[in-house]
């Protein structure tokens, strides 16, 4: 009988979990439902304004953390905005909604919509001739068929894209 510490490397087993998957039905919440519905039906961005500090949160969330106040007042923001952070992804990620690999490279950015005090995150269309820069002005590009998800926005692109 082999000593447990002397087990041959090829006899050390690994157990693969197989293809089982773990589905969830995440509630979007009242505020998020309004935000995505407005985006789907009118291509408009809505944020929630804190009654304490006046900050506008986009996407909306129920509570202003620093003031600990419930937010109920809507404020329209965007659709134009400014790029505050970005990267260009060159390794594939598996889209958790589709299970498919997203083609690389693609741009990813934080977008401060005009009138908002928080950043929205989305894809960034990369123009190889004019690489992205922090501070660049952006506009959203919407999908023709929209269904009330963040992917109703295809991506953001330079505001002056012809």
Residue placing its CB nearer to another protein in the complex, 54 or 66: 66
**Least distance from C-beta 33 to another protein, angstroms?**
8
**Least distance from C-beta 58 to another protein, angstroms?**
15
**Least distance from C-beta 31 to another protein, angstroms?**
9
Residue placing its CB nearer to another protein in the complex, 62 or 131: 62
Q: How far apart are CA 62 and CA 70, in angstroms?
A: 6
Q: How far apart are CA 162 and CA 130, in angstroms?
A: 12
Residues of this chain that bind another protein (CB under 8 A): 15, 17, 20, 22-30, 32-33, 61-68, 70
Residue placing its CB nearer to another protein in the complex, 18 or 128: 18
């Amino acid at each position: 009988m082999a000593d447990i510490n002397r087990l041959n490397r090829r006899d050390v087993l690994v157990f693969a979990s197989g293809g089982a998957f773990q589905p969830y039905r995440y509630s979007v919440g009242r505020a998020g439902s309004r935000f995505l519905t407005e985006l789907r039906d009118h291509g408009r961005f809505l944020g929630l304004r804190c009654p304490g500090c006046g900050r506008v949160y986009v996407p909306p969330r129920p509570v202003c953390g620093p003031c600990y106040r419930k937010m109920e007042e809507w404020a329209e923001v965007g659709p134009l905005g400014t790029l505050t952070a970005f990267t260009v992804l060159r390794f594939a990620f598996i889209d958790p909604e589709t299970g498919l690999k997203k083609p690389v490279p693609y741009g990813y950015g934080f977008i401060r919509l005009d009138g908002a005090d928080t950043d929205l995150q989305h894809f960034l269309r990369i123009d190889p001739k004019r690489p992205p820069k922090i501070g660049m002005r952006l506009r959203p590009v919407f999908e023709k068929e929209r269904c009330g998800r963040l992917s109703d926005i295809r991506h953001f692109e330079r505001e002056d894209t012809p």
